[in-house]
Amino acid sequence: MFKYILLTCAAISFAGGPTHEPEDIDFSRVKGKKVVKLLHGYDLESAADIAALAPSCYEDNDSLSYQSHTKVMEVDAEIDEVWSTYKSISPTEDNQNKVRFGLLFSPDPNKLSYSADSYDGIKEGQIVFWNLKFVMGLVKIPVGQKIMEVNDEEKFIKICYLAQGKSHGTQYIQLYPEEDGKTKIVHYTRYKSASKFRDKRLYPMFHNKAITEFHEDVIHKVMEKNKSEEEDNETLSSK
């Protein structure tokens, strides 16, 4: 995701310990002019600024104002293997046609990460900025999201939009084991904006394209790993 997905470094002071200055955003390393413009539009200059961003999640008490979108996919692999891939896949690995990574904030340790940096996996509290590209790159949509929950027991990820953005709501990625050893992937979204036309006509189309590409990247990575392991086993058995 994932294809679908974060940044901080606030000043921390410990008794008797050193004080660390907030890490400034290196805009020259941020991928995507639209993402850079979004960061400036939010008046974000440092990791501390990003850490202070509030999410805008789906609210049950206002459910009628939200639209819904569901995407279901399947992969021929065990659920634990698929879940591990969703947790570990780098946001830069899904840089295909539509989903482009811009910047990541991770709260523990507090740091900013760019496209060339190593990735330690998805964690609660991360904030990620993406540049979504559609219609052969003619339409570019920057977006920020916060990882609210990564539930290992129930195998789901909860992602919310940022309060400063045009879209508000929550995305849920849930995995389910199937009897034949396969895994069902359900991506359920509750969303809204200030534009009914955008919510009814534009969001479902662009959102579906973006998350489909992300999940296809995860599935491809799972299948490539399985293929490699099968080839290794065949090599060992032939010796």
Q: What is the pLDDT of residues 172-209, one digit of tens each?
A: 999 999 999 999 999 999 999 999 999 999 999 999 99
Checking if the pLDDT of 143 tops 90, the result is yes
What is the enclosing helix (H) or strand (E) of 213?
helix 203-238
pLDDT score at 136: 65
Question: Which segment, 1-15, 83-97, 160-174, is predicted with the most confidence on average?
Answer: 160-174
* Pick from 213, 69, 68, 75: nearest CA to 155: 75
Q: Is the pLDDT of residue 2 over 60?
A: no
- What mean pLDDT, rounded, does the chain reach? 87
Q: What digits encode the pLDDT tens for the residues 7-16?
A: 323 332 333 3
Q: Whose structure tokens read 């940096």?
A: 117
Confidence (pLDDT) at 8? 29
| pLDDT classification of 230: cutoffs 50, 70, 90 | low
pLDDT of residue 94: 53
Res 124: pLDDT? 97
For 232, other C-beta atoms within 10 Å of its C-beta total: 10
Reading the block at residue 7, the tokens are 């940044």
Question: Residue 21 has what pLDDT?
Answer: 65
pLDDT tops 60 at residue 120: yes
- Looking at residues 25-37, what average pLDDT do you find? 96
| Mean pLDDT, residues 26-41 | 96
Percent of residues, the chain, with pLDDT higher than 90: 75
Residues 167 and 195: their CA atoms lie apart, in Å, by 10
pLDDT at 157: 98
- What are the distances in angstroms from CA 68 to CA 59, 71, 132, 215? 13, 10, 20, 18
Q: Which is more confidently placed, 167 or 134?
A: 167
- CB 110 within 8 Å of CB 12: yes
Contact between residue 78 and residue 175 where contact means Cβ atoms under 8 Å apart: no
d(CA 16, CA 36): 38
pTM of the model: 0.85
